[in-house]
Structure 1
Amino acid sequence: MARSTLLSAMLLGMLTTCAPAVMAADAPAKSMAVRGTVTQFHGDQLQFTDRKGAAVTATLNDKTTISAVAQGKISDIKPNSFIGTAAAPQPDGTLKALEVHVFDPSLRGSGEGFRPWQGSDGKVGTMTNGTVGTLVNANGRTMTVKYQNGEKKVVVPDDVPVVTLSPGDRSLLKPGAHIILFPAPGSAEPVVAARIVAGVNGTVPPM
């Protein structure tokens, strides 16, 4: 499988396996996630400007799911929390978190696992979704993140962005809202949104 196709599949898998919107984490996706800012939302038509300044139109349907991202704090990361973290591998085998998103309990299990991930800066790193095991609070946080068949040790510096992720609805799609849109597999123009992650109160999704 080509690298770009693999990354697309993993991107879609991370945030589209949430109940009640169940989609396989390894479901093939034809398009990368798109990040941008909402300009208009009317009916089922969403218009937004991507990070390159291009205007994008997307269609929502009854299968489109929406999640809300809000500012969190490092103390939100607790033992037994279900979290996701985009991270960079370190020479000692640990991962250095670039951001951490703490899932609402109703979203536990979303995209569980370890996979490649292309972050908002375009760089390729990793994404780990799992349950926090041991947690050491010293000079930030050092935690183990456990998933189906493994675990990772993740170092979380004090200045790493932390957000919370919870179920949302279309009312979040207001002009000025920052979003990540995951296209439905095989959708063409206009793009059909499988899932949208939308910032609350100006929050920019850091993942």
Structure 2
Amino acid sequence: MSFRFQVVVSLIALAFANASFAQTSADKPERIRGTIQSYSGGVLQVHRRSGETVGIAVVDASGLNAVKAIQLSDIKPGAYVGAAAMPGADGKLEAKEVLVFPEAARGMAEGHFAWDLGAGSSMTNANVDTIVQGTSGRDLKLSYKGGTNTVTVPANAPVVTLIPATRDELTAGKRVFVVATHGKSGAYNAVQIIVEKDGAAPPM
């Protein structure tokens, strides 16, 4: 699978997760964050942050990527990013992480919508218009269809991009972010998996 195709599959999966409000609860994709316990026989066992361990079926159509840590200075005007943020004490959006999308993924899941990193968290997938150095980090002015946002990115916020991954990298102890649909008997089916690599864990 080419890198371009793999990335596009990955971001379609994330866009699909964003569009899940139009589906029934049984079909609604779910975001699963946790640590791999094992991967065998096409089933990924993940110990979730919430405490339980779930089985996730990995099939040929499941997208698979890893993350690569990059620097805040690598974000340039014109980049297409996804910024998960929370309102700060002053009410302004403060990034908890920023994903710099590869060019092949430009426009995927564009917009500003609720996210599930905590109460009041949001995700903005948008173009970077300008970057201004502020007192508490860099302020990214983001534009998307229907609106604009300014997000402050503190120096300690993880900044990552997507890189290819293989199933051989689904090893015990690695942290993962999985978009999955509900399968039979309480199991899940993986739509997209993003796995830790070289110590860089999926921050989204």
8 A Cα contact 2:87 2:120, kept in partner:
no
Distance 1:124 1:63 in 2: 33
Paired residue for 1:194? Answer: 191
What SS class does the counterpart of residue 19 from structure 1 fall into?
helix
1:32: how far off?
3.0
Paired residue for 2:101? Answer: 103
Distance 1:160 1:59 in 2: 32
What SS class does the counterpart of residue 118 from structure 1 fall into?
coil
In the superposition, the TM-score normalised over structure 2's length comes to 0.80
> Which runs of 5 or more residues in structure 1 are unaligned?
1-17
Paired residue for 1:164? Answer: 161
Distance 1:159 1:57 in 2: 33
1:180: how far off?
1.1
8 A Cα contact 1:107 1:166, kept in partner:
no
1:131: how far off?
1.1
The residue correspondences of 1:171-190 to structure 2 (distance < 5 A) are 171-184=168-181, 186-188=182-184, 189-190=186-187
Paired residue for 1:15? Answer: none
The runs of at least 4 consecutive aligned structure 1 residues that moved more than 4 Å come to 90-93
Structure 1 residues 171 and 130: alpha-carbon distance in aligned structure 2, compared to 1, 3 A threshold: farther
Paired residue for 1:143? Answer: 140
Aligned-CA RMSD value: 2.2
Number of residues paired by the alignment? 187
> Which runs of 5 or more residues in structure 2 are unaligned?
1-6
1:155: how far off?
1.3
Structure 1 window deviating more from structure 2 (86-95 vs 172-181): it is 86-95
Structure 1 residues 167 and 106: alpha-carbon distance in aligned structure 2, compared to 1, 3 A threshold: farther
In the superposition, the TM-score normalised over structure 1's length comes to 0.79
Return the structure number with greater helix share: 2
Given the alignment, which residue of 52, 55, 70 partners 1:54?
52
Q: State, as a whole percentage, how many aligned pairs show the same letter.
A: 34
Q: 1:86 aligned to 2:84?
A: yes
1:202: how far off?
2.4
